[in-house]
Amino acid sequence: REKDVMLKEIHHRVKNNMEVICSLLDLQAKQAADKSVHAVFMESMNRVNSMALVHEKLYRSADLAHIDFKEYLQSLVSVIANTYNMPDVNFSVEMEPVFLDVNIGIPCGLIVNELVSNCFKHAFPGRRKGAIKLGISNGGDAYVLSVVDNGIGLPEGMDFRNTTSLGLQLVNVLVKQLRGTLELSRKQGAAFTITFPKSRSESYE
């Protein structure tokens, strides 16, 4: 019981420290006159927030080792959507409840943050209407994470595995960290699929 209390306190303090970092980044963003500089600060803030949110969910959960990833994704994408303020772009989290170990939940959250942020930034130019669907499914010995949009898609000839885009570079690094594979379908918009093996500590309900 003492260990559980201590672990909750650790998650709470980590979350609070990350929220302080987010606040500092937000202040810097507001002081940046250059739009590109402002965007960099906001993107960094969203990355830190995606990690802070994991610790917040764990702090409030009865299970201090696993995170309800469906609930987490709904909260995370809501924050991202508020950042970009595009009310005509709808998002939906379509999945059964999945509980991930924190060491898997954090890189998955960062991957989703990058891919969904890219959707809001690039997939719907001119603030056109659109939809983003995401979720994670149980693939037997592996999990399958997908982020799909019906926007304009990636530019022809763009190699998403070898690009100057910091966001996609981070996604590729995080997929390797998960010992997974990353695939892209360009049939309608962009559909990213990440398949990675389960940890022994994972549970699926």
Please determine, for residue 200, whether its predicted confidence score (pLDDT) is greater than 80: no
Q: Rounded mean pLDDT of 194-205?
A: 66
- DSSP result, the chain: -HHHHHHHHHHHHHHHHHHHHHHHHHHHHHH--SHHHHHHHHHHHHHHHHHHHHHHHHHHSS-SSEEEHHHHHHHHHHHHHHHHT-TTEEEEE----EEEEHHHHHHHHHHHHHHHHHIIIIISGGG--EEEEEEEEE-SSEEEEEEEE-SS-SPTT--TTS-S-HHHHHHHHHHHHTT-EEEEE-SSSEEEEEEEEPPTT-EE-
Please determine, for residue 10, whether its predicted confidence score (pLDDT) is greater than 60: yes
Q: Report pTM.
A: 0.82
Per-residue model confidence (pLDDT) at position 60: 75
Please determine, for residue 205, whether its predicted confidence score (pLDDT) is greater than 50: no
Q: What are 115-170's pLDDT values in tens digits?
A: 999 999 889 998 789 999 999 998 788 999 999 999 998 888 788 888 888 889 99
Please determine, for residue 102, whether its predicted confidence score (pLDDT) is greater than 50: yes
Per-residue model confidence (pLDDT) at position 115: 94
Q: What percent of the chain has pLDDT over 70?
A: 96
Per-residue model confidence (pLDDT) at position 64: 60
Average pLDDT for the chain: 87
